[in-house]
Structure 1
Amino acid sequence: MNKDIPPDFKVPGFLAAGISAGIKKNREKDLALIYSEVPSVAAGVFTTNRVKAAPVLLSMERIKAGRARAILINSGSANACTGKKGLTDGRRLSRLIASSLKINPGNVLLASTGVIGKPLPMSLIEKNLPRLLSSLAPDGLGNVARAIVTTDTFPKAVILRQQVNGREITLAGIAKGAGMISPQMATLLSFVITDASISLKALRQSLKEGVQESFNRVIVDGDMSTNDTLLILANGEAKNREITLGTPGYKKFVLFLHDLLFSLAQKIASDGEGATKLVVIAVEGACTASEAERVARAVATSALVKTAFFGEDANWGRILCAAGYSGAPIDPNKIDVYFDDVALVRRGQGAGPAMEEQATAVMKKKEYTVRINLNRGKKRVSFFTTDFSFDYVKINASYRS
Structure 2
Amino acid sequence: MGKKQALWGLLLSSLLVTAGCGNAAQPNNAAPAATNTGQSAQPSAEAPKQELAKELKLFAWGEYFPQEVLDDFTNETGVKVVYDKYTSNGEMLTKLKSGAVDYDLVVPTDYIVERMAKQNMLQELDMKNIPNFANIADVFHERSFDPGNKYSVPMYYGSIGLAYDKTKTDNPTAWKDLWNPKYKGHVIISEVGREALLVALQKNGKSMNSTEPADLEAAKNDLIALAPNVLAYNSTPSDVLAVGDAWIAAVYSGEAAKAMKTNKNINYIMPQEGGTLWMDNLAIPTGAKNKYTAEVFINYILRPDVSKRLTDVYPYSNPNKEAVKLMSDAEKNNPASYPSDDSLKKAEWFADLGPKLKEMDRVWKEVRGQ
TM-score class, shorter-chain normalisation, is under 0.3
TM-score normalized with structure 2 length = 0.24
Higher RCO, 1 or 2 (CA under 8 Å, sep at least 6)? 2
Which protein has the larger Cα radius of gyration, Structure 1 or Structure 2? 1
TM-score normalized with structure 1 length = 0.22
Structure with greater helix share of residues: 2
Structure with greater strand share of residues: 1
